[in-house]
Amino acid sequence: MAVTFSLPTVLAKLADGQSTLEASGTTLGDVVAQVADRFPRLAPRLRDTAGGPYPFVTYYLNDEDIRFRNGFATPVREGDEITVVAAIAGG
């Protein structure tokens, strides 16, 4: 499944300056793994040593926080938009 993967500026610096990437996978975790393989410097910012998301990085699948779905195990569909947002904001 081909999806778009959007990064905040602070992380885009580690992806050759690209804030929007094309990627693929059957689950969100697959997509993150593929992006991590392509950009080794970005990899440790996307997931922790156990392979899960950090508490201060929020992933949205289309408009939904993946914590309301099934985390990295959430299936993705063709054309989905994945957005990575730094969680320290608001309040």
Contact call for residue 73 and another protein (CB under 8 A)? no
Contact call for residue 85 and another protein (CB under 8 A)? yes
Q: DSSP 3-state assignment of 46?
A: helix
CA–CA gap between residue 66 and residue 16 (Å, rounded): 26
- Segment contacting another protein by CB under 8 A, of 24-32, 33-41, 72-80, 81-89: 81-89
CA–CA gap between residue 39 and residue 49 (Å, rounded): 16
Contact call for residue 8 and another protein (CB under 8 A)? yes
Q: DSSP 3-state assignment of 81?
A: strand
Chain positions contacting another protein, by CB under 8 A? 8-11, 13, 45, 54-58, 60, 63, 65, 67-68, 83, 85-91
